[in-house]
Amino acid sequence: MIDSIALFLTTDFVLYALAAGISLALIAGPLGSFIVWRRMSYFGDTLAHSALLGIALGLITNSNPQLSIIISCLLFAFILTLLDRRPSVSTDTLLGILAHSSLALGIVVLAMADSVRVDLEAYLFGALLTIGNVDLIWILVVAALVAAVLYWFWNDFVSITVHAEIAEIEGTNVNRLNLILVLLIALTIAVSMKIVGVLLITSLLIIPPAAARSLATTPEQMSRKASIIGVISVVLGLLSAFYFDVPVGPSIVVVATLIFLGFYFFPAVQNDRG
Amino acid sequence: MVVYDNDNGSTPPASADGVLLSAKSINKDFAGRKILENINLTISEGQIVTLIGPNGAGKTTLVRIALGLLQADSGTIYHHPSLRIGYMPQRVHIEPTLPLTVIRFLQLANRQDKELMSATLHKLKISHLEQHQLAAISGGELQRVLLARALLRNPQLLILDEPAQGVDLAGQAELYQLISEISAVQGCGVLMISHDLHLVMSSTDEVICLNHHICCHGKPEHVSTDPAYLNLFGAHASESLAVYTHHHNHEHDIGGSIKEPDND
């Protein structure tokens, strides 16, 4: 048993999967915390679903798939941010329409493109073990970029999340920072598609922070602990996928959910004072 | 991005006559309803201006326009581009999913100046709350924390939207007293919204009575007897005022001892 795990963990494709999954989990901690604090999980879903349309369009136009996903995600993020600034439109309804129509349209386009045989399931639920050289480089570069931007603007991001108006009076450019944050989320979703797939990406972003909530007293603690929980979920998810012979993406999400449930029913820190 | 300097000795960029901010002929409609009509207003260094008026009179709208958070339909706001404003909003909602201690909240405004931080915590008597969750402190404590955050920018102008809301009556008097002390010591101008004229009376230089337009304005003693004010707030308000002005021949400091009266 131990031997087979050791052998499994040192296989090339498993090492690639681990490197990709862990680096994504590390940035998903802080980024996902912002999604939770700002109630943007539906927004993340919409972006993820629209990414499938990006894949479809990339395939029929014969473009680089990773690049077409990134461009379509960034484009959608930009459009959603613009629409969000018009308060007369209900954001909730709008996101619902965009999320599912782009998912449906993506599947229709993929089905019509007879020339290309696509493994739809890999895009919907992830295919972490098929990650190659190029995929890994994309993920590492984007993770490093996202981490650097988050680190650079950290105090400003927290400030606009806590109270946008005070932040603005204090001289923070709230609109610009909102846009940067949304683009970071879009970028992360775009490259993490291979890991857990369109349908499960948001869960990888929001479950670890939700699990870390009761362990934290500051935003920094919550995002750090969310990263740790994310890494644990990736490693345990990968191991159990191997052990029980189940798909990797869903098994990572299941592990994260179990950790969340554990902390939810047995909170470690009592934050409410009497 | 605006860069603030937190140097205590910096001279305020006020105009020659000490005016920090002025609003000229401000008009604002919401969905066809006139909210603000031809509002003029100036705040100078060391001056405390209080906006009073019934609910829905446009007080918060005027403050938001002055802050630049809202665009007026017509009229202009003048202030020096590098004017440092400390702002205390009416309502602060902290997401329950966001863990935030009082000290971390305050550090969002100023992380460098540790001396200013501990002096401000001490002045507002909130040092003991440092490690408490912001969502778990009382309404009165929250107002002090918000005032502390506004002060941490070392402001030349404080803009306070109902600073005493959620504070008990004794605490309210103390808070207004504190604001007037801060203004006197630091020489900063204050624009604040209040419901109760009698509570702010001793700590304000100018009262503006607002009900979509400026009904009356001037020294608090003058406004309290103005027919437009009495018409808006009823005779009851003036009675409670009369009781208060009876005691107005001295002032208490925060510890309760009697202060030398200021020369008006």
pLDDT digits (tens, 9 = 90+) for A240-269: 988 898 888 899 999 999 999 999 888 765
* Contact at CB, B99 and A210, closer than 8 angstroms: no
* Contact at CB, A170 and B153, closer than 8 angstroms: yes
What's the pLDDT at B133? Answer: 95
Joined together, the tokens standing for residue A13 give 């494709």
What's the pLDDT at A135? Answer: 87
**Region B147-151 average pLDDT:** 95
What's the whole-model pTM score? 0.84
DSSP state of A80: H
Asked if residue B237 lies in contact with residue B231, where contact means CB atoms within 8 angstroms, the answer is: no
What's the pLDDT at B236? Answer: 55
* Contact at CB, A218 and B104, closer than 8 angstroms: yes
Residue in A161, A168, A209 closest to B69 by CB? A168
Quote the CA–CA distance of B145 and A132 in Å, as a whole number. Answer: 52
Reduce the DSSP state of residue A13 to 3 states and report it.
helix
Among all residues of chain A, which has the CA nearest to that of B100?
Answer: A218
Quote the CA–CA distance of A48 and A192 in Å, as a whole number. Answer: 10
Residues of A within 8 A of B86 (CB-CB) are 169
Kindly report, residue by residue over B216-240, the tens digit of the pLDDT: 888 888 888 888 888 887 655 554 4
Residue B23, strand partner residues: B41, B77
* Contact at CB, A170 and B133, closer than 8 angstroms: no
What's the pLDDT at B15? Answer: 60
More confident residue, B27 or B195: B27
pLDDT surpassing 90 at residue B202: no
* Contact at CB, A213 and B94, closer than 8 angstroms: no
Q: What crossing angle do the helices spanning A174-196 and A65-84 adopt, rounded to 10°?
A: 140
Residues of B within 8 A of A37 (CB-CB) are 95, 97-98
What's the pLDDT at B32? Answer: 86
Asked if residue B22 lies in contact with residue B67, where contact means CB atoms within 8 angstroms, the answer is: no
What's the pLDDT at B159? Answer: 95
- Please indicate if any CB of chain B lies within 8 Å of the CB of A169: yes
pLDDT surpassing 50 at residue B241: no
Reduce the DSSP state of residue B218 to 3 states and report it.
strand
Domains plus CATH for chain A? 2-265 (1.10.3470.10)
What's the pLDDT at B245? Answer: 43
What's the pLDDT at A219? Answer: 97
- Please indicate if any CB of chain B lies within 8 Å of the CB of A166: yes
Give φ, ψ of A10 to 5 degrees. -100, 5
- Rounded to 5°, the CA angle B100-B106-B110 comes to 135
- Rounded to 5°, the CA angle B36-B232-B216 comes to 60
Select from B21, B60, B97 the residue whose CB has the most chain A CBs within 10 Å, as the one to mutate to test that interface: B97
- Please indicate if any CB of chain B lies within 8 Å of the CB of A88: no
Residue type, A273: R
Average pLDDT, whole number, for chain B? Answer: 82
* Contact at CB, A162 and B136, closer than 8 angstroms: no
Q: What crossing angle do the helices spanning A41-60 and A12-37 adopt, rounded to 10°?
A: 130
Q: How far is A64 from chain B (nearest CA, A)?
A: 37
Among all residues of chain B, which has the CA nearest to that of A171?
Answer: B2
- Please indicate if any CB of chain B lies within 8 Å of the CB of A41: no
Residues 117-156 of A with CB under 8 A from B: 155
Assign B5 a pLDDT band (cuts: 50, 70, 90).
very low
Residues of B within 8 A of A216 (CB-CB) are 99
What's the pLDDT at A7? Answer: 74
- Cβ contacts of B63-66, under 8 Å, gap ≥ 24: B63/B159, B63/B161, B63/B191, B63/B193, B65/B23, B65/B26, B65/B28, B65/B36, B66/B21, B66/B23, B66/B41, B66/B159, B66/B191
Q: What separation in angstroms does the CA of B212 have from each of A2, B27, B54, B222?
A: 77, 9, 10, 20
DSSP state of A128: G
Kindly report, residue by residue over B82-114, the tens digit of the pLDDT: 899 999 998 788 899 999 999 999 999 988 889
Give φ, ψ of B4 to 5 degrees. -100, 140
Quote the CA–CA distance of A195 and A131 in Å, as a whole number. Answer: 8
Which residues of B touch chain A, with CB atoms under 8 Å apart? 1-4, 67, 69, 85-87, 89, 92, 94-95, 97-101, 104-105, 107-109, 111, 131-133, 136, 149, 153, 159
Q: Where are the alpha helices (DSSP H) in chain A?
A: 2-9, 12-37, 41-60, 65-84, 91-112, 120-125, 133-152, 154-162, 164-169, 174-196, 201-212, 219-244, 248-265
What's the pLDDT at A149? Answer: 98
Among all residues of chain A, which has the CA nearest to that of B147?
Answer: A166
pLDDT surpassing 70 at residue B22: yes
* Contact at CB, B1 and A163, closer than 8 angstroms: no
Assign B262 a pLDDT band (cuts: 50, 70, 90).
very low
Residue in B2, B3, B111 closest to A155 by CB? B111
Percent of chain B with pLDDT over 90: 45
- Please indicate if any CB of chain B lies within 8 Å of the CB of A42: no
Residues of B within 8 A of A218 (CB-CB) are 99-101, 104
Asked if residue A28 lies in contact with residue A205, where contact means CB atoms within 8 angstroms, the answer is: yes
Q: What separation in angstroms does the CA of B201 have from each of A5, A41, B181, B212?
A: 77, 48, 14, 22
What's the pLDDT at A50? Answer: 86
Residue in B97, B108, B153 closest to A158 by CB? B108
Reduce the DSSP state of residue A112 to 3 states and report it.
helix
* Contact at CB, A219 and B98, closer than 8 angstroms: yes
* Contact at CB, A162 and B67, closer than 8 angstroms: no
Quote the CA–CA distance of B129 and B103 in Å, as a whole number. Answer: 8
The alpha carbon torsion through A7, A12, A14, A18 (nearest 10 deg) reads 120
Assign B157 a pLDDT band (cuts: 50, 70, 90).
very high
Q: How far is B170 from chain A (nearest CA, A)?
A: 24
Q: What is the largest CA-CA distance in chain B?
A: 52
* Contact at CB, B100 and A172, closer than 8 angstroms: no
Among all residues of chain B, which has the CA nearest to that of A166?
Answer: B87
Name the residue among A122, A128, A106, A88 with its Cα closest to residue A47: A106
* Contact at CB, A218 and B101, closer than 8 angstroms: yes
Among all residues of chain A, which has the CA nearest to that of B92?
Answer: A163
- From the first residue on, what is the mean pLDDT of each consecutive set of 10 residues in chain A (274 residues)? 72 87 95 94 87 84 83 87 70 82 87 72 82 89 97 96 94 93 93 84 93 95 97 94 89 95 76 41
- Please indicate if any CB of chain B lies within 8 Å of the CB of A158: yes
Give φ, ψ of B157 to 5 degrees. -135, 125
* Contact at CB, A166 and B99, closer than 8 angstroms: no
What's the pLDDT at B237? Answer: 54
Residue B52, strand partner residues: B209
By CB atoms closer than 10 A (0-12, 13-18, 19+), residue B75 is: middle
Joined together, the tokens standing for residue A146 give 């996202």
Helix (H) or strand (E) run with residue B238 in it: helix B227-246
What's the pLDDT at B2? Answer: 33
* Contact at CB, B92 and A163, closer than 8 angstroms: yes
Name the residue among A226, A218, A225 with its Cα closest to residue A271: A218
